[in-house]
Amino acid sequence: MIDKVSVPQTNVNDPEVIVAHIYHTDGTKVKKGGEIIDIETTKALFTIESPKDGYFYSLVQHQESIAVGKTCAIISEKTLTKNEISEALYNDREKNKFMGKHITKRAQCLIEEKGLSTQDFNDFESITYASVISVLKERSNLSKNNLEIKFINEDEINSNSLLITGDPNLAIILSDSLISKDIIYIILNELSINKEQIKDFDSNSIKIRKVNREIAKPVHFTILNPRSSELEYKSLKENIQKYFLKVSFEAIISDSAFVSTSAKLEHSVFVAPNVYIGPFVSIGEGSIILPGCNIAHHTSIGLLCSISDGASIGGNVIIGNRCLIGLNSAINRRVKVSSDKIVPSCKCLIEDLN
């Protein structure tokens, strides 16, 4: 009997990860809970552990890019030949199809929306939204050498439209958070987005537009550009105002986030899903609060900060401008963090950081 080991989803922003290290050669006997593969996301390094005692066989290579949910290794009760591995995986795919696989609700909806079939996910042990995006990315028929981006037309803009610019990865998270909104990503600088990101936008139903003339219609706009300099941010904002004559810059709060009515969020703050923001919290312009964060009462967060997934910030904390608070980090109450500081992932900060 074999157990398949799939790539876990450690960050909603990463549909794919990089294989950073493989601990064993094929056929090595491993213990349950032992380290077998390291994967690298855009934010951190994670270790995959063996689900049981047995013999390890890798299905990936060092530095390979692999989709979240895809099988990266197997653990067998006995040693296997290459043919036995292939036969076991093939039989398992044919027998199970989607049966026995974990499929998230959002992934199922996107599969149905895009007309995908079970065969598209044969190599996935679990199927998440990120898995579906990865498959759509592979299937995209956009030409790498011929990507035409249209100029925005006033007729495309309505009361349900939200215009955004800045970090393309944050744009995808925002789009996931606001399914009911018509998201339009505005390119103000051709170098700000690459062809692969354009494909991701296409898979996520985000329109991409350039602008070459003044737009008189009222528009709602959010800038996703944390940790940029204040001068760079101001210049970007002025450039937007030059083209969009009736622009209002909005703070965006995901439907599943809780924000106290006494909290104050400045323009272009983005609050991602499953975030808690307590009473009398203030968050400066252009800051982003990523999924799963908890920010307690009377905390002050400055301009253009990035609070990473799962961070927990105690009450009466003061965080300066352009700070990065890492994944799953914790900041004790009444701690002060000066501007431009980084709190590493999983760090527990109990003293001021100056």
CA distances from 90 to 64, 85, 98, 248, 262 (A): 22, 9, 14, 55, 57
Task: Name the helix (H) or strand (E) containing 313.
Answer: strand 312-313
pLDDT of amino acid 302: 97
Residue 14 reports pLDDT greater than 80: no
pLDDT of amino acid 146: 45
Residue 270 reports pLDDT greater than 60: yes
pLDDT of amino acid 144: 44
317: phi then psi, degrees, rounded to nearest 5: -80, 145
Who has greater pLDDT, 109 or 224?
A: 224
In the chain, the percentage of residues whose pLDDT exceeds 90 is 50
Average pLDDT value for residue range 218-237: 91
pLDDT of amino acid 292: 94
276: phi then psi, degrees, rounded to nearest 5: -115, 125
Who has greater pLDDT, 241 or 13?
A: 241
Average pLDDT value for residue range 150-158: 90
pLDDT of amino acid 353: 95
Who has greater pLDDT, 11 or 19?
A: 19
Residue 179 reports pLDDT greater than 70: yes
Cα separation of 181 and 132, whole Å? Answer: 21
Q: Domains in the chain, start-ordered, CATH in brackets?
A: 2-139 (2.40.50.100), 150-250 (3.40.50)
Q: The pTM is what?
A: 0.59
Who has greater pLDDT, 131 or 251?
A: 251
Cα separation of 223 and 242, whole Å? Answer: 15
pLDDT of amino acid 202: 67
Please report how the helices 168-177 and 195-203 are oriented relative to each other, as an axis angle in degrees rounded to 10: 0
Quickly state the pLDDT bin for 1 (edges 50, 70, 90).
Answer: confident
Average pLDDT value for residue range 221-228: 91
Range scoring the smallest mean pLDDT among 5-14, 248-257, 291-300 = 5-14
Q: What is the pLDDT of residues 71-129, one digit of tens each?
A: 889 999 999 887 787 776 655 544 444 445 667 777 777 877 777 766 677 667 677 78
Residue 245 reports pLDDT greater than 70: yes
pLDDT of amino acid 32: 94
